Amino acid sequence: MKSSFSTELFLLLMCGVFGAETEEGKSVTVKEGDSVTLNPERNQIQGIIKIVWRFGDKGTIIADSSENEPWLSNTDERFRDRLQLNQTSGSLTITDMRTEHSGLYVLQIDRNTGISLMKFNVTVLEPGGSSGAIAGTCVTVLLVAAAAVVYYYRHRICDQNRLMAEEKKESVEEGRSVNLETDTELQRADEIKWWFEDLILTEFRKETSKKDDTDYIECDVADGRFRNKLVLDEKTGTLIINNIRTFHSGLYKLQISRKNRRTEYKRFIVTVTVSETTDE
């Protein structure tokens, strides 16, 4: 009956019916497994007659210093062997905190001058839910992303270096022929494309071997500069430019697409020189 009356009185005090002095609530955050100490303000501990700590919206008493020895709740399993009350300062220590200990803690201080209340809103973070853990996860994600970027650019640079290594330079006199060698042999289903700058010169797909002895294909190009000048070796994909002129100087690009294999690229810088004639 006494406990019921005490709880009802507390609720009336919280509502301000009896004019109790109430301090603004403090927010406290703690990680699961750690301990926390709830300390009252120094100006609140002078002339104390009685200290009562309550938990939850119902104001369940968990600690009381009204007797010669402090009373600590052992009936509530949540707080059994976890509470320590300092009768001098009024502070309450809760050890080995769990998420079930999250909630509202209210300190009731009885003095000769009246009753005052202090509120503490306690939040217990689950493992992995702490700000430190979240920050650690963010750092890990950033490190993985940075590693991926480094990996990508390293391989991109390697690819660029490989392309530069496969770039060949050919110099030929005007009126002669030049062979842009692929240094490979085409397999069935391989596809090749040749460009001059951005102009597509020819496309070819390797099929079954031809029955005749002809290994060369004349390329039909609409651009007048290359009309009747290009021949393709269908075994290797080599491009032959006959009767070459100075306007054929420039960049020639080759793409070889192979089934289930990596696409290959080659570049040829062709320079056509004018032969010097001597007067006799």
pLDDT, tens digit, 9 for 90 and up, residues 3-38: 444 444 444 444 443 344 455 678 999 999 999 999
pLDDT at 143: 76
**Do 250 and 270 touch, CB atoms closer than 8 A?**
yes
**Do 190 and 235 touch, CB atoms closer than 8 A?**
no
**Do 196 and 226 touch, CB atoms closer than 8 A?**
yes
* Structure tokens belonging to residue 66: 């009204």
Backbone angles phi, psi at 225, to 5 degrees: -65, -30
What digits encode the pLDDT tens for the residues 204-234? 988 855 555 568 889 988 899 999 999 999 9
The whole-angstrom separation of Cα 280 and Cα 278 is 6
Other CB atoms within 10 Å distance of the CB of residue 47: 10
pLDDT at 53: 92
Query: Which H or E element spans position 173?
Result: strand 167-173
Q: Report the b/e string of 14-23 with b at 16+ CB within 10 A.
A: beeeeebeeb
Q: What share of the chain is helix, strand, coil (3-state, %, to 5)?
A: 20, 35, 40
The whole-angstrom separation of Cα 241 and Cα 231 is 7
pLDDT reading at 188 higher than 70: yes
* Structure tokens belonging to residue 166: 């496969």
- 3-class SS at 80? coil
Average pLDDT, the chain: 80
pLDDT at 76: 85
Structural Rg of the chain based on CA atoms: 44
Backbone angles phi, psi at 38, to 5 degrees: -100, 115
Q: Which amino acid is at 265?
A: Y
pLDDT reading at 154 higher than 60: yes
Nearest to 28 by CA among 98, 120, 112, 95: 120
Task: Give the pLDDT band (50/70/90) at residue 152.
Answer: low
**Do 83 and 62 touch, CB atoms closer than 8 A?**
yes
Positions of CATH 2.60.40.10 in the chain? 2-130, 164-273
**Location of structure tokens 């707080």:** 79
- 3-class SS at 72? strand
Q: Which CATH number fits domain 2-130: 2.60.40.10, 2.40.240.10, 2.70.210.12, 3.40.50.620?
A: 2.60.40.10
* Structure tokens belonging to residue 199: 């102009």
**Do 37 and 92 touch, CB atoms closer than 8 A?**
yes
Query: Which H or E element spans position 11?
Result: helix 2-14
The pTM assigned to this predicted structure is 0.42
Does domain 164-273 sit in CATH 3.30.470.30? no
Strands 199-205 and 191-196: antiparallel
**Location of structure tokens 């750690």:** 34
Query: Which H or E element spans position 150?
Result: helix 131-165
